[in-house]
């Protein structure tokens, strides 16, 4: 039986934190709130517990996980080398929604890295995640707590629906602040590479690494990707997603679908006054990348739960601040 334990997101209750640490120490899995999305946590130094993460997610075992730590000291213990780029990024953005890829230390279990030579590390800022890390005294491996390729969970209830009995305890600290995953940067190369745009946006990243290379762009559609998480289809709802270039076109396609008897949803950017049809499920997301990102996954999930078959999405601006949102929409729209 999965236990759902409420916990204060700002001043986490000690008994709940201790219980989560106890479960992790015993090789169990914990649904853990972070500032980005909920993670499916296991003790990173326990290969058997890490193997349970892959099983619970239905994730191929060569897809690396993120190791969560309290800060740079703990990160360096997991890494073979700690390049200057990693130090500058950590100093500027940790704790926070930035994941740094470096060479894995020999002593760090390969399972966390999906068997590879590199390791992705981040120091989360969420008080609950930090309290559990402190109580455990060891790094925590945690991918987003969703089934493979599905929508990342932004509430404890989403974790329960995604993973079900595969998780022992879920800490319920309410909805996540960012609602979208961390930004992933490869710090192994002279010129750092953006592997996944995320909650820390590109304009902020560039203040520390102005020469960052857009690997997310360069590898779009390529066979060989630097990170398994960069595969085309990912972060996808059950419904088919269609991106329309503008509002009138989105509305036209949605109306046509409804006319054909399809259960359609329309996701627009900013407010919308006129309802074209009562049969259409319309959701308006804010014309602001941070708020849009916060609501995106939960809205797509809601439309899935309403048994919508096609979601027509009004395209978001092609602007660096919207990069993470545009990336998730593009992947959601990729055919299965």
Contacting positions for ligand TXA (CB under 6 A) = 34, 36-37, 39, 64-66, 97, 99, 101, 113, 116, 118-120, 142-144, 181-182, 184, 195-196, 227-229
The stretch near Mg ion (CB under 5 A) out of 97-105, 112-120, 138-146, 207-215 is 138-146
- Per the listing, tokens 């290969």 go with 47
> Is 182 a residue that touches Mg ion (CB under 5 A)?
no
Least distance in Å: CB of 148 to Mg ion?
A: 9
Q: How far is the CB of 11 from ligand TXA (least distance, A)?
A: 21
Q: Is the Cβ of residue 159 or residue 244 nearer to Mg ion in the bound state?
A: 159
Length of the chain: 336
Q: Does 144 bind Mg ion (CB under 5 A)?
A: yes
- Judged by CB under 5 A, the stretch of 142-150, 209-217, 270-278, 286-294 that binds Mg ion is 142-150
Going along 58-206, which residue ranges are E strands? 66-68, 98-103, 118-122, 140-141, 169-172, 183-186, 193-196
> Which listed range, 61-69, 140-148, 213-221, 328-336, lies at the site for Mg ion (CB under 5 A)?
140-148
Choose among Mg ion, ligand TXA, none what residue 296 binds, the Cβ cut-off being 5 to 8 Å by kind: none
How many CB atoms are closer than 10 A to CB 203?
11
Sequential DSSP letters for 211-269: T-B-HHHHTTT-SS-SSGGGSSS-S--SSEEEEESSHHHHHHHHHHHHHTT--EEEEEE
Closest to ligand TXA by CB, 215 vs 264, is 215
Inter-residue contact 123 to 77 (CB < 8 Å): no
Closer of 115 and 137 to ligand TXA (Cβ): 115
What's the CA gap between 185 and 165, in Å, rounded?
A: 33
Q: Which burial class, exposed, middle or buried, applies to 335 when counting CB atoms under 10 A from its CB (0-12, 13-18, 19+)?
A: exposed
Helix (H, G, I), strand (E, B) or coil at 181: coil
> In the complex with Mg ion, which residue's Cβ is closer, 144 or 154?
144
Q: Which is nearer to Mg ion, 142 or 268 (CB)?
A: 142
Where along the sequence are the contacts to Mg ion (CB under 5 A)?
144
């Amino acid at each position: 039986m999965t236990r759902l334990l409420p916990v204060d997101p700002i001043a986490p209750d000690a008994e709940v934190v201790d219980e989560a640490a106890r479960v992790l120490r015993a090789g169990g899995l914990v649904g853990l709130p972070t500032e980005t999305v909920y993670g499916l946590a296991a003790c990173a130094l326990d290969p058997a517990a890490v193997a349970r993460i892959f099983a619970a997610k239905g994730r191929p075992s060569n897809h690396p996980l993120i190791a969560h730590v309290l800060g740079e000291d703990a990160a360096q213990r997991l890494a073979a080398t700690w390049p200057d780029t990693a130090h500058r990024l950590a100093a500027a953005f940790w704790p926070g929604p930035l994941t740094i890829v470096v060479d894995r230390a020999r002593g760090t279990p390969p399972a966390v890295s999906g068997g590879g030579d590199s390791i992705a590390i981040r120091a989360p800022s969420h008080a609950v995640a930090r309290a559990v890390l402190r109580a455990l005294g060891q790094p925590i491996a945690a991918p987003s707590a969703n089934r493979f390729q599905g929508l990342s969970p932004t509430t404890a209830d989403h974790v329960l629906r995604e993973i079900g009995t595969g998780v022992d305890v879920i800490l319920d600290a309410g909805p996540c602040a960012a609602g979208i995953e961390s930004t992933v940067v490869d710090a192994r190369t002279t010129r750092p590479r953006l592997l996944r745009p995320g909650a820390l946006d590109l304009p902020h990243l560039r203040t520390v690494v102005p020469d960052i290379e857009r690997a997310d762009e360069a590898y779009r559609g390529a066979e060989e990707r630097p990170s398994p998480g960069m595969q085309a289809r990912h972060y996808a709802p059950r419904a088919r997603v269609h991106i329309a270039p503008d509002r009138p076109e989105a509305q036209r396609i949605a109306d046509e679908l409804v006319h054909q008897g399809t259960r359609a949803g329309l996701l627009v950017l900013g407010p919308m006054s006129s309802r074209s049809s009562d049969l259409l499920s319309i959701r308006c997301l804010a014309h602001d990348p941070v708020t849009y990102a916060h609501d995106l996954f939960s809205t797509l999930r809601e439309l899935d739960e309403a048994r919508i078959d096609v979601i027509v999405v009004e395209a978001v601006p092609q602007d660096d601040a919207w990069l993470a949102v545009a990336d998730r929409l593009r992947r959601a729209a990729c055919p299965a």
